[in-house]
Chain A
Amino acid sequence: MELALSLGAPAEVYDVVIIGGGPAGLSAALYAARAKLRTLVVDKHPRAGALAMTELIANYPGVDEELSGAELLARFRRQAEKFGAEVVEAQVLATQLTSDPKQVITSEGTYQGRTIIIAAGALGRSGSIPGEKEFIGRGVSYCAACDAAFFQGKDVAVIGDSREMPDELELIVRFARRVYLLPRKRLDEEVRAQVTGHASVELLERAQVKRIVGEGAVTGVEVVDEGEAKVIPVAGVFVYLSGSRPTTDFLDGSVEITAQGCIAADPRTGATNQPGVFAVGDVTCNEVRQAVVAAGQGALAALAADKYLRRAKRMRQQWS
């Protein structure tokens, strides 16, 4: 039998750990790597994020052929990796930004960085489903790897259609008897084929979720399906929703957040109130959400991180 053992924090410390693999994060990675900084990008998924979902991008300077957002991102990434940046695919769960080195706790383990650039984008959700908060830990879960086994042989609901939902569902179907899948919007064909490939999954695309109900623990999900209100009896509910709010749920409370929920950052450098922590791109609520703006901010933050690490007075130019 094989026993998976995680050793925890790797001993190595990066100069820069970048959270997010969109245009801001990967541009920061390019400039950081070119400044000879040990650079790591933690990216949730190459197809997650606002740019990755863009079918055609026509306003990125210098790119005049027909290119999808995902293809443009793949180029960003190749270029950053060419200069030595590392990219890991992992979900950031928590951060410790006041320690030295700072820590980024992810689904794949903990990474340490002397500086952190937050470029996590703005696909976070706002609000919650009625009953959701009440039943957290009593049947409501966000982590199939953690909790799916508790629902062995039981019926569960999966609410939402975020990018991680299909992968999470793969884990849930190993345990649950029946899975009611309740996406907010119509699934694209590829995802639909993947999820309906499981005999135990029942896709309810028309049903609208009203609330999570229970007594002490979850007992069901109230939905309206074709005008008819009903309760689907389930023992567990896994929630995978996304929205358009800055993604800041992994922060440790040490970084200033504005009343709008954005990270407060100096627009010239991305510097936050926390020394050595920078924020760029949509997570700072730019007035315009454009790849080219995010990329420019990423470059500035990398040079600012370099300046911080050198304790220098000025940023170093990269001429070529």
Chain B
Amino acid sequence: MQTGEKNGKIILLVEDNPDDVELTLRALKKNNILNKVVVANDGVEALDYLFGTGAYEGRNTSVIPQVLLLDLKLPKVNGLEVLQQIRNYGPTKLLPVVVLTSSMEEHDLIASYQLGANSYIRKPVDFSKFIEAVKQLGLYWLVLNEPPVIESAI
């Protein structure tokens, strides 16, 4: 399987740990998922990208990622707050969000779904299992799943 490099489907990866960024990118590559991956290192950066503010001032916000991979424990604005804000913002209201975290606290799980997460995946320590998880994730969210058609921003 090879998902399109040029089909323009963007993955937004929100992750503060550079090791995890590297490993996630590696896992995507291992599974031949060649979509463009935008990495945001904290919640603020993720929101800036989606809302076209701050460092991403002037970005064409009608280009919306196919899926957002969201870590929960982030500096500045945490994952749950990011989720809340994008659900309150018209253009990203329906954006598919996959929570990708190490936490298996029931509290995080419930809060994520309550705030409108589409999926919750606990990152396994075993990297082989992680690659398998990313494979399924890519297949499902980038190939099988039909994203909602969102009217362009404001």
Do A and B pair up? The answer is no
